[in-house]
A and B are shown apart, each in its own frame.
Chain A
């Protein structure tokens, strides 16, 4: 299966649905698991757009109810911020 083909799921990192399915086939069961194998959710929007879609794919493929698929952890910052700005702390 050519990984560069097919419908995109993660818009930021351009990860195809076929790659996500492959990751699940290889044992990924959580959104973080798929993220680590495919980079889906690691891009600029930090999974804000694809997180739910990936959860749904995992739920369907592993036949779990979607509420039981572990969502990804939320780490700061929750918005894209340049490192220089984070370092520019007000006294």
Chain B
């Protein structure tokens, strides 16, 4: 949001580069991975093991584990809780 009625204009924050399934994308320093993905228009974070159904962000607060992805080789990372880091490699399972 460029100019919010309560927050005002966002302070210029450092950008970091992430890689989603090898594809480069931009994120803001200090935001959770899930927020960065959603800001880049990504809504499907993974497909389920049994039915192959799309899942994304559900609770956004680290409880439902729907938003899990493999981050820098570590599986089942709750992307709504973990903050972005420069050069992070994110893999969506079965997408």
Q: Do chains A and B touch in the complex (CB under 8 A)?
A: yes
Name A's B-contacting residues (CB within 8 A).
4, 8, 11-12, 14, 43-45, 48-49, 79-80
Please classify the interface of chain B as helix (H, G, I), strand (E, B), loop, or mixed, using the class held by over half of its residues. loop
Closest to A12 in B: B65
Whether the Cβ atoms of B64 and A11 lie closer than 8 Å is: yes
For chain B, give the interface size range.
10 to 19
A49–B64 Cα distance when bound, in Å, is 6
Question: Which A residues are CB-close (under 8 A) to B59?
Answer: 49
Q: A11-B58, A44-B76, A49-B59 are in contact. Are A80 and B49 (CB under 8 A)?
A: no
- Kindly supply a per-residue 1/0 record for chain B positions 44-78, scoring 1 wherever the CB is within 8 Å of any chain A CB and 0 otherwise: 00001111010100110011111010000000101
Other 8 A-B pairs with CB < 8 A, given A8-B51, A44-B68: A4-B50, A11-B55, A14-B48, A14-B49, A14-B50, A44-B65, A45-B63, A49-B63
